[in-house]
Amino acid sequence: MSNPPQATVKTELTATPYCKNCGAPLTGAYCADCSQRADVHVPSTLELIHEALEGVTHSDSRLWMTMKYLLFVPGKLTLEFVAGRRVAYLPPFRLYLVMSVLFFLIASIWPGEAVHLTGLEAASKTAAGATPVARTPQQRCDDVHSDIFEAQIKRACERIVRDNGEAFKHDVVATAPKAMFILLPLIAFFHMLLYWFPRQRYPVHLLFFVHVHAFAFLAMSIAWLLNQIGHLSLTLDTVCGVLLASIMVYMPVYLVLAMKRVFRRGWPNTFFKSVALFVIYLFVLSITMAGTVLYAALRL
Ligand SMILES: [Zn+2]
């Protein structure tokens, strides 16, 4: 007694060699039009487990190859993409998104250390310390004066005083990933100006920063975790401190090595450009961060 629906599926698979996804005729193991596999049977539980383990354990799998180059061979992933060798690695934007989600997830788990709103916090603490008499959030924010958005800024101030900035921090962490979509193209544009002669196309610069930021997010995630682990014991604190310091040194070194590998200028030239990039980056980053903080405050 065979199962009728299964029999129908089998017949369809062998008799009509058309892609289940886009309907193109199939000539091999994959669709030539949309690259979906020809074999689309729903996997058994065992097959699913096998596939999951294979993805994680195989040292030459896409994930591990990508991570190895991302962490230890600065610029390599960008060069591989430009050279057209792509299947062996995770696609750049997906890699970036995964690392960005990982970082902001960790940052939102320990938000206290994710965002240092020192100015605002110090101001609210000074205000609290100077006046032992309990004042309402309304009173404590009465001194706020602004030419634009005064009402909104006052409301945000009251909200920050009321919950010690918890909602505000949360909003900043939630807005930051979106702000990166402004920062990334901007930085890539300025970087293109730095490398004007001989010119490199804009997408190469954008791709370069997609990879560099994917690395930065991964490095900062590791640093963040090390920082948390360091709190557990004194010995761990020393070990994590050394590792943290190494990461802080490695990050700028990584950028210079990546610039050298991808854009192939001499060392003095690359070094000069990296210093210029650092200054431009700080400028664009502070504008983006100010925008993010303002946006989060106005939404409170
Ligand atoms: Zn197809």
pLDDT at residue 299 above 90?
A: no
CB of 123 within 8 A of CB of 112?
no
188 closest CA partner among 295, 284, 47: 284
The answer to whether position 54 is within a domain reads no
Find the 39 Cα to ligand 1 centroid distance in Å: 12
The answer to whether residues 15 and 72 belong to one domain is: no
**What DSSP state is assigned to residue 177?**
H
Highest mean pLDDT among 54-68, 96-110, 204-218: 204-218
237-272 pLDDT tens trace: 899 999 999 999 999 999 999 999 999 999 999 999
In whole angstroms, how far apart are CA 206 and each of 117, 171, 217, 289? 30, 27, 16, 20
- The rounded Å distance from CA 21 to ligand 1 centre is 5
Number of domains present in the structure of the chain: 2
- Verify that 228 and 281 share a domain, yes or no: yes
- What's the whole-number mean pLDDT along residues 220-242? 89
pLDDT per residue over 103-160, tens digit each? 988 888 875 543 444 445 544 554 445 444 566 666 677 777 777 777 777 788 888 8
Whether 219 and 100 have beta carbons less than 8 Å apart is answered as no
pLDDT in tens, 37-67: 888 888 899 988 887 787 677 766 888 899 9
Mean pLDDT of the chain: 83
For residue 69, name the pLDDT band (cuts at 50, 70, 90).
very high
Task: Report the separation in Å between the CA atom of 121 and the middle of ligand 1, taken as the mean of its atom positions.
Answer: 56
Residue with tokens 């690392």: 99
Q: Are residues 246 and 212 in the same domain?
A: yes
Strand ranges for the chain from DSSP E: none
Residue 155 Cα, ligand 1 centroid: separation in angstroms? Answer: 54
**Could you tell me if 183 and 108 lie in one domain?**
yes
Question: What is each CA distance from 289 to 11, 64, 279, 282, 295, in whole angstroms?
Answer: 59, 33, 15, 10, 10
Confidence of residue 10 (pLDDT cuts 50, 70, 90): very low
Question: Residue 43 C-alpha to ligand 1 middle, in angstroms?
Answer: 19
pTM attached to this predicted model: 0.75
Whether the per-residue pLDDT at 12 is higher than 50: the answer is: no
Report the separation in Å between the CA atom of 28 and the middle of ligand 1, taken as the mean of its atom positions. 11
Q: Is residue 279 part of a domain?
A: yes
The SS3 assignment for 37 reads strand
Ligand 1 center to 40 CA (angstroms): 11
**160 in any annotated domain:** no
**Shared-domain flag, residues 101 and 16:** no
Q: How far is the CA of 86 from the centre of ligand 1 (A)?
A: 20
Domain holding 85, by residue range, is 65-117+165-299
Tell me the CA–centroid distance for residue 56 and ligand 1, in Å.
27
Distance 13 CA to ligand 1 centre (A): 14
Write out pLDDT tens, residues 174-200.
888 888 989 999 999 999 999 988 888
* Alpha-carbon distance values, 75 to 9, 40, 215 (Å): 47, 36, 10
CA of 61 relative to ligand 1 center, distance in Å: 24
- Does one domain contain both 31 and 88? no
| 53 in a structural domain | no
